[in-house]
Amino acid sequence: MRVVRAATQLVLPFAMLAASVVPAGAAVVEPLTVHRSSPAPESASLEQCVSSPDQEERAATFSGEMTALPGTARMEMRVDLLERGSEEEGYRRVTAPGLGVWRLSTPGVKSFRYLKQVTNLAAPASYRGAVRFRWLNARGHQIAFAELRTRPCEEAVLPPPSPATGATLN
């Protein structure tokens, strides 16, 4: 049985990055990019991908960033882990403690950043973060929604380090 461990860190404030957006309520088959004259209010990225011969040391760190839209009282963000095995065509959602939990911003903040580190990743496999964003009004009703995917973290099977031999040639 494979165990995935997740750790989180909340950081405020942040600098905005441009990203693509999925409008609320849209049924999307292909990725959709909205072209804007101003930066998008959300972004998702793979911050770090650590490969190792030891499964316990393999890790991926994903981040999501969002800024308040007009009428926003609070913001929510959720990071899910998607996994694709070496023989699989598509990604599937991984369930584990600490994954897929909505994180709520402090009321009134203008920017919100959330980091999620996932460790103990299997190999060979590819991992992506699916980051969801919700903007809420003062009554707690959703006024906007977006979901983005990060670039993949590729975990290959690495050979164990070769032991140092104390051999000498005669």
| pLDDT single digits (tens) 137-153 | 999 999 999 999 999 99
Q: Residues 6 or more apart from 98 whose CB is under 8 A from it? A: 5, 6, 7, 8, 116
Contact (CB, 8 A) for 155 and 58: yes
Residue 50 has pLDDT above 60, yes or no: yes
The two three-digit tokens of residue 126, written as one number? 């590819």
Classify residue 19 as exposed, middle or buried by CB count within 10 Å of its CB (0-12, 13-18, 19+). buried
Please, what is the average pLDDT of the chain?
80
| Residue 75 amino acid letter | M
Q: Which domains does the chain have, with CATH numbers?
A: 5-22+42-155 (2.60.40)
User: Who's near 95: CB < 8 A, 6+ residues apart?
Assistant: none
pLDDT interval class at 158 (50, 70, 90): confident
Residue 32 has pLDDT above 70, yes or no: no
Res 166 pLDDT > 70 = no
Please tell me what DSSP assigns to residue 56.
G
Measuring CA to CA, which residue among 97, 106, 39, 118 is closest to residue 77? 106
Contact 77, 103 (CB under 8 A): yes
Helix/strand/coil (H/E/C) assignment for every residue in 61-125: EEEEEEECCCCCCEEEEEEEEEEEECCCCCCEEECCCCCCCCEECCCCCCEEEEEEEEECCCCCE
